[in-house]
Chains A and B, each alone.
Chain A
Amino acid sequence: MKPLVGLAARSLWNRRGSAALTVFAIAISVMLLVGVETVRIGARESFARTISGTDLIVGARSGPINLLLYSVFRIGDATTNVSLQSFELVSRHPDVAWTIPISLGDSHRGYRVMGTNGDYFRHYRYGNRQALVLAAGSAFEDDNEAVIGAEVASRLGYAIGDKITIAHGIGEVSFAEHGDHPFRISGILDPTGTPVDRTVHVSLDAIAEIHEDWQGGARSAVTAPRHPYDGDDPESAQAEEVARPALAGITAFLVGMRSKDSVLQMQRALNEYRAEPLTAVIPGVALQQLWQIVGVADRALFVVATFVVLAGLIGMLTSILTSLRERRREMAILRSVGARPLHVFALLLLEAGLLALAGVVLGIAAAHTALAATTSLLASRFGLFMETGGPGVYDLVLAGAVVSAAVLAGLVPAWLAYRNSLADGLTIRT
């Protein structure tokens, strides 16, 4: 067996030009298959990990998936705000254990800014009911402090005490900075592998204050410099304290119930609430609805990738079959030094297997290299936090399947070569 493998490898090496092309074709098809499958599984795990322990997400009237995406994954935008009255009504409800307000719409160098309060750090859970942990510093204590996610800190090189400004809007750059209200970084969160890592957290009051002069849709020049922190005389600062800007509304809020039994009733009551059109969704249900939609595309991609692999294998089959005629002499020589027809059969099977194996190894390596290179792009564009642990068990399964399929396909040329070598013996009749 072992000498046969060496023989097959050396025979391939002799035809390395066409063999390399075949390997390349298989590698590309396997790369596609592995890429599609890794992203599919990674996306699921990333989404499932992001929110945990929250019973309801409440926002303005929209679709459940839309609400889930913009409130938790920071994908897309809210239709409109939720009034503070509704938020407080739910917060005060006897069956409600906790609420977390979320106010979105601003950014810091492409990272979303989220207005919230201390309850976020106390009650928000991700993964397997893991709480947020501060890697350094503390939660914000006043309107001039911000807590940043792990990726914001590492990517932009921020440390505790650094000053940042926030931009109006959610683009990568903005031409409307809230420059009059700088924030001091008071805390940096531990990495979570969720959109939290890419978020700048400030207090709700801070969101209200930075938008105080924006009621006309752009910053007003008249009322701009009159904040207490601008160093005005103490008297006007005092007046400012009294006329504290009121928050118009929040983007969404998360609800934790005292008991799971009342989740459905609370959801129903919120969805039917007459005073304000609201949408309340159970995160698990919304995620499942998302899978059901995305699942169709998933499956389509998987089927396409499988067919590309099949095309790659057929390409391999073609190249082996066309080489058979030219290699009759090779077979005859092998026979003359004592190879049996069965050896020729095995040789051809091994050849197919080796080609596929090389292609699979190359394809898997390429897929994982490409994925590792695009992780941050996937995270920023699609909110997908892929675990880049390299090839796993599932890759082995895929590799095994492709190589087996290749060996199976190799049966055809192997059988032909076997028959030829029986007929030809040591002489070649052409």
Chain B
Amino acid sequence: MKQALVRLVPAALLAFGLALQAGAAALQIDWIELVPADQRATFDPAPPPPVHDYLTGESGGLAAQQPLDFSVNMDLEGQEIRIPGFVVPLELDEEGNVTEFFLVPYFGACIHVPPPPPNQMLYVRMKQGIKLDSMYSAYWITGKLSAKTRATRLGAAAYTLAGIAYEEYKF
């Protein structure tokens, strides 16, 4: 019994250490780092005038249109990152926890202003949903990032994050 314990304790300690290391391995990044390095100097978050209407496809429309020339930072592909942001819930599980959401750098990304450019938002999926108390609270999200280009009318490149852990952001 005692021997088993002696052997178990270092194993547990090792596992704990590894878990800590896994946490530490996540690269903490800032939102600007999602913009490719060569574009950061000229990055202008103010959207240029719309090229054509997103809904009707006609040109000269007034509706919001994402500029098409934003690209993603491929250096981050496959990396485990940790980033703070606001949660825009998309899908809830049966207990009401948020399992799919957009992580955006500022609150209100969904209503008052045009949505953030594609390289300034993350589509996050988490197995263990977030118990979201308030959409005004910010969260640290840790997860594995994948950067992809998708063919939509937006021609938007986009990030997907396989969420691993979350933690409320404290000021």
A interface residue numbers (CB < 8 A to B): 44-45, 47-49, 52-53, 55, 89-90, 93-95, 127-128, 258-274, 282, 284-285, 287-289, 291-292
Contacts and interface: CB of A to CB of B under 8 A. Distances in A.
B91 A53 contact: yes
B110 A264 contact: yes
Contacts of B56: 89
A409 to B, nearest CB: 32
Nearest to A271: B111
A52 B123 CA distance: 17
B95 interface: yes
Interface stretch (B3-11, B24-32, B62-70, B76-84): B62-70
Contact of B150 (A259, A273, A285): A259
B102 interface: yes
A288 B90 contact: no
B91 A45 contact: no
Contacts of B63: 268-269, 272-274
Return the 7 tightest CB-CB contacts between A and B, nearest first: A284-B89, A264-B115, A48-B96, A268-B64, A269-B55, A269-B63, A269-B54
Given A259-B152, A261-B123, A262-B154, A273 B55 contact: yes
26 contacts: A44-B95, A45-B96, A89-B56, A128-B93, A258-B152, A260-B90, A260-B100, A262-B153, A265-B65, A265-B66, A265-B154, A268-B115, A269-B63, A269-B64, A271-B111, A272-B64, A284-B91, A284-B98, A284-B100, A287-B92, A287-B96, A288-B98, A288-B135, A289-B135, A291-B96, A292-B134
Contacts of B109: 264
A52 B55 CA distance: 24
Contacts of A95: 152-154
A292 B134 CA distance: 7
B164 interface: no
Contact of A48 (B65, B92, B111, B114): B92
B55 A90 contact: yes
Nearest to A284: B89
B154 to A, nearest CB: 6
A261 B152 contact: yes
B139 interface: no
Q: Which of A48, A271, A291 has the most CB of B within 10 A?
A: A48
In this complex, which of A90, A261, A267 has the most chain B Cβ atoms within 10 angstroms of its Cβ? A261
B147 interface: no
- Which of B55, B62, B114 gathers most chain A CB within 10 Å? B55
Contacts of B163: none
The prevalent SS among residues of B at the interface is loop
Contacts of B90: 55, 260, 263, 282, 284
B94 A48 contact: yes
Given A261-B152, A287-B92, A93 B115 contact: no
A398 to B, nearest CB: 18
A127 B99 CA distance: 12
A49 B66 CA distance: 33
A128 B100 CA distance: 12
B40 to A, nearest CB: 22
A47 B158 CA distance: 30
Given A265-B54, A274-B63, 18 more contacts: A44-B96, A47-B96, A48-B92, A53-B91, A89-B55, A93-B153, A94-B153, A95-B154, A258-B152, A259-B158, A260-B102, A261-B158, A264-B121, A273-B63, A282-B89, A282-B110, A285-B110, A288-B135
B53 interface: yes
A274 B54 CA distance: 12
Nearest to A275: B56
B132 interface: yes
A261 B154 contact: yes
A44 to B, nearest CB: 5
B35 interface: no
B8 to A, nearest CB: 30
B156 interface: yes
Interface in B111-161: 111, 114-115, 118, 121, 123, 132, 134-135, 150, 152-154, 156, 158
B114 A268 contact: yes
A52 to B, nearest CB: 7
A352 to B, nearest CB: 35
A274 B62 contact: yes
Contacts of B153: 93-95, 262
A90 B54 CA distance: 11
Contacts of B65: 265
A270 B54 CA distance: 9
A276 to B, nearest CB: 11
A55 to B, nearest CB: 7
Contacts of A55: 90
Contact of B95 (A45, A262, A273): A45
Given A48-B94, A260-B100, A266 B54 contact: yes
A387 to B, nearest CB: 10
Contacts of A282: 88-90, 110
A264 B95 CA distance: 25
A266 B92 CA distance: 20
B110 A267 contact: yes
B55 A93 contact: yes
Nearest to A278: B55
Given A260-B123, A261-B123, A262-B152, A272 B110 contact: no
